């Protein structure tokens, strides 16, 4: 596989899906929203966007399997190549008319994530990366920050919306970072949080209660931009653990120390 050419094709597919989503948001009605589970919104837009992505990506690598949020196609993660898709990351933002939402597409080869593309639609920003190819924003090379002290950092997180088991530890984590950083941001899409970390807008990001499609593409972006990814205990399998820490390598020990102390069991 030529990862560069595949990545370019995926960028085009993500932008096609983004154009569809942009049109849909312009006249979106709350009547189209339903609940998958507590506070987990879904609409026909999510499902139709996913079908578009599956059709286009199937043409690109016919033998690949899929792991998708809305399960509009057979979920087959045993194949050599697997697409991991979130057709609309930031659905709550989307249905409330907020401009920050994204399309997230990753490609996994055996046990390794090899391509990640996050298209942030409101800003028309396409983040992309592939193994050993670096990370880019609209074609320009990007890197994580070099910030090495918490007091100079801006961190991102996501608030729990269905898994409240670890609330005390999460609140303690926030309280520590309130006092020791320049601030915390919560924008409502994990894929964009990771993309913004990869290009240096955020110095780091942490969250729990996640699914593989939330973070797969962003993991590739941060890794290829020179950052480091782990779960809350410092383990490498963030995509499977439901928790993630993503920072530059200098800041990572400080961020992980706080998160592990308060939420190592999440």
pLDDT tens digit string along 141-153? 999 999 999 999 9
Q: Report DSSP state, residue 209.
A: S
Reply yes or no on whether the pLDDT at 41 is more than 70: no
- Summary mean pLDDT of the chain: 93
Confidence band for 37, pLDDT divided at 50, 70 and 90: low
The pLDDT, as a whole number, for residue 42 is 62
For 3-142, CATH number out of 3.30.540.10, 3.40.50.970, 2.40.70.10, 3.90.79.10 equals 3.30.540.10
Determine the Cα–Cα distance for residues 158 and 1; give it in Å rounded to an integer. Answer: 35
- pTM as predicted: 0.94
Confidence band for 36, pLDDT divided at 50, 70 and 90: low
Question: Mean of the pLDDT values across residues 36-56?
Answer: 80
Same topology between domain 3-142 and domain 150-263: no
The CATH number of the structural domain formed by 150-263 is 3.40.190.80
**Domains of the chain: which residue ranges?**
3-142, 150-263
Determine the Cα–Cα distance for residues 214 and 263; give it in Å rounded to an integer. Answer: 20
Residue-wise pLDDT for 147-187, tens only, equals 999 999 999 999 987 778 889 999 999 999 999 999 999 99
Sheet of 125-130: strands edge to edge? 65-68, 81-89, 102-109, 112-120, 125-130, 135-137, 140-142
Confidence band for 39, pLDDT divided at 50, 70 and 90: very low
The pLDDT, as a whole number, for residue 214 is 95
Determine the Cα–Cα distance for residues 206 and 169; give it in Å rounded to an integer. Answer: 13
Q: Could you tell me the two tokens for 151?
A: 């007091």
């Amino acid at each position: 596989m030529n990862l560069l050419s595949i990545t370019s094709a995926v960028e085009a597919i993500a932008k096609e899906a983004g154009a569809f989503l942009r049109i849909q948001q312009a006249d979106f009605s709350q009547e189209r929203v339903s609940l998958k589970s507590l506070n987990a919104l879904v609409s026909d837009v999510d499902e139709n966007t996913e079908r578009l992505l599956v059709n286009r990506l199937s043409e690109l690598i016919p033998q690949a399997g899929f792991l998708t949020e809305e399960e509009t196609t057979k979920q087959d993660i045993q194949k050599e190549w697997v697409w991991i898709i979130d057709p609309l990351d930031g659905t709550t933002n989307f249905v409330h008319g907020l401009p920050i939402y994204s399309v997230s597409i990753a490609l996994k080869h055996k046990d390794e994530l090899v391509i990640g593309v996050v298209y942030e639609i409101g800003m028309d920003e396409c983040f992309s990366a592939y193994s050993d190819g670096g990370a880019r924003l609209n074609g320009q090379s990007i890197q994580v920050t070099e910030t090495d002290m918490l007091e100079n950092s801006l961190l991102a997180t996501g608030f729990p919306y269905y898994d409240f088991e670890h609330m005390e530890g999460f609140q303690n984590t926030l309280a520590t970072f309130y006092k020791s950083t320049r601030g915390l941001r919560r924008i409502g899409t994990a894929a964009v949080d990771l993309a913004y970390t990869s290009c240096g807008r955020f110095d780091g990001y942490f969250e729990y209660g996640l699914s593989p499609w939330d973070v797969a593409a962003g993991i590739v972006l941060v890794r290829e931009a020179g950052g480091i990814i782990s779960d809350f205990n410092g383990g490498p399998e963030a995509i499977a653990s439901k928790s993630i820490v993503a920072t530059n390598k200098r800041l990572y020990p400080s961020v992980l120390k706080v998160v592990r102390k308060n939420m190592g069991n999440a």
